[in-house]
Structure 1
């Protein structure tokens, strides 16, 4: 990489979750293809993170590229206010094919965080239309829903990356996070905290919001499917809408198209993003029932008060359509199943390692939780030197590789983790 580029980057470009004065190192990527990211020097490294869960078919996918090129020749963008276009219509039709019949009204937006904002706005307008003052959301601790302010407000106020803003944010209600893991035998004690808070506060709770089965940045915990099923039942009893945040888990990552399907439930509002376009462009959707949309639309101000400039972007819709067509061929099911099997063979033995607290695997997700916190700067450099791209945080090393990864390359990722555990200097 040109030294001038490095200096410019350090001086002017602020990276996510990083400092301008003491930033983590940046690695100059000149191109990406398949499972590989290529440095300017020509060195190729295997991407173990799918660009934060999104690039599920890898990079430079021919079909996704072709969809974008074809759409560029028609129009790259046009406002969505008062205008409809074919890519958006096709996308909404394709999404409805993947979803339960109850979810039928789709709001297309820009990013995952924005889809959460929209879901929360929908709920507030819904109750306002019913002349009820309900503005409190119930969720569980260790949750993560994005970086915008309403999304932050339902992230754990103490044990999250957003604790800094807790004094500014509205106060919501947080139940204890589930303790039982995905594979444990169900016991009702796991939901007692949630039940108690719901019973005590149901008259002021506007909605329940949570990530299905997997809590992401809050600690990458996998909880029991019955927990989510019980929450659905409780929401039904108390007539409280349920918002499910599938932004990270949607489109096959857990082994099912959507993680909530493990619990055989239907949410009242569903938020999706990340892999919606196969990681090619930013796009999200907030999808709700006719009941909620009708109540909002038939009462003042007779509309949902939200309108992102780039909502329904034709380019993003076009590539999302092709992504869904690829997924409908169901090759991803075999790919994700094979990844899960290999993860279990190669990573479960690490449960015996003295540095490892836990290993969690579901679908194309693997988490190695360590006893000690990780030196992110040193460990990331270690991984790059071993030909793989992983970005650990806190005491967690996690893998969310592209579905197209081959077994040899997947082993290279898991071996790199094993090697890292043998180096004390990589831990704080």
Structure 2
């Protein structure tokens, strides 16, 4: 017999509109009492190893003492300070540190709260870059099949229009150019031909480097990024890297733009920026982009300002998270997780319906030939003591980097048992 639901859940359930589910038919969510390390502790006392790191954010694990102490210190000083006309140490120190870590001249940091909004800001920067330079007609974007960049209005337009979550809005939102990633000579030639025809109306190319996350955990090589940089330069368009998922070590490099040697004109960051502690994002522009806004003309300024941009609590958490990254310990952990997932998921290659098993850094993916039963699989995984939330055709792992070998085996063992890999 299942344990009774806590009062706060039953009383609040009629009023909370939950994400990505049909409210009429979806099962009740699991009630979480607290978190620790790589685990979710439920109200009924059960503990689940979190294989998703709270949508890819809790890279250092939950309740990391260094981040918690930094937030507590900042809370005693100032929980929030508006960024219009005022400044505070956590945000300015964080901006300088991010600029120092990122390659090339990605030096100008514009803060926001969510990843989707940071992509919106990057798109707005790209559009106004051309306006400020006196170039008319650059009003569209080039994005890629399999891509996902957020659920806000502008970001929806650069997601995959057919395989993504936003096909319902086809014909309502502005149409962008969606192409195949240049993974070979044929697709590279097709991309070049598209840019030759339409380049004069394109403000920027938008791509998730190395891994298209919510589109199906689709991997591509760094040579693809080099081709995109070459194409952007040849046709005079900007290049935006959406590193909201891939940034902060998830693929094995601190940033893909750092490890690949391909530097975009704008990069967006979020997810693990604060170690999964508080909402924060950033759109970080190159000197070339920033210089187009540097003017005596007030009208050339970027007229954007999220209310909680540069929130001191979130910036304190992000600075503490960067402290942890600077120790370098995460590199060995990510490599260990990659080896463990490659070994633990390999038997699933022969499971019914499986078309691919792949790993990259702290990402492990089992892909099926048809969409999976998300609700049914979630329930079976919970019964095995793990939290794994599939999407589309993939069942995947993106665990916190501090996940122990025993916890990782629990995750991969659950996947083998539930998915039929022995």
Alignment correspondent of 1:216: 213
| 1:2 to partner: Cα distance | 3.4
Alignment correspondent of 1:195: 192
- The normalised TM-score by structure 1 is 0.94
Alignment correspondent of 2:114: 111
| 1:117 partner SS | helix
Q: Which of 101, 111, 115 in structure 2 is aligned with 1:98?
A: 101
1: CA distance, partners of 2:101 / 2:209 = 17
Q: Which of 288, 292, 311 in structure 2 is aligned with 1:291?
A: 288
CA contact (8 A) 2:216 2:391 kept: no
Gaps of 5+ in 1: 181-186, 424-428
CA contact (8 A) 2:348 2:419 kept: no
When the two chains are superposed, the root-mean-square deviation of aligned CA atoms in Å is 1.5
Number of aligned residue pairs: give it.
416
| 1:262 to partner: Cα distance | 4.3
Residues 1:359 and 2:357 are matched in the alignment: yes
CA contact (8 A) 1:250 1:275 kept: yes
Alignment correspondent of 2:326: 328
Residues 1:206 and 2:209 are matched in the alignment: no
| 1:394 to partner: Cα distance | 1.8
| 1:327 to partner: Cα distance | 0.2
| 1:394 partner SS | coil
Cα deviation digits, residues 84-116 of structure 1 (max 9, x gap): 111011101111121124111110111100000
Residues 1:50 and 2:48 are matched in the alignment: no
1: CA distance, partners of 2:341 / 2:375 = 25
Residues 1:231 and 2:228 are matched in the alignment: yes
2: CA distance, partners of 1:57 / 1:3 = 29
Cα deviation digits, residues 113-171 of structure 1 (max 9, x gap): 00001001111111111222210101111100001101111001121001111222111
| 1:302 to partner: Cα distance | 2.6
Q: Which of 14, 17, 27 in structure 1 is aligned with 2:17?
A: 14
- The normalised TM-score by structure 2 is 0.95
Gaps of 5+ in 2: none
1: CA distance, partners of 2:358 / 2:420 = 20
Alignment correspondent of 1:149: 153
CA contact (8 A) 2:347 2:416 kept: no
Alignment correspondent of 2:250: 253
Alignment correspondent of 2:260: 263
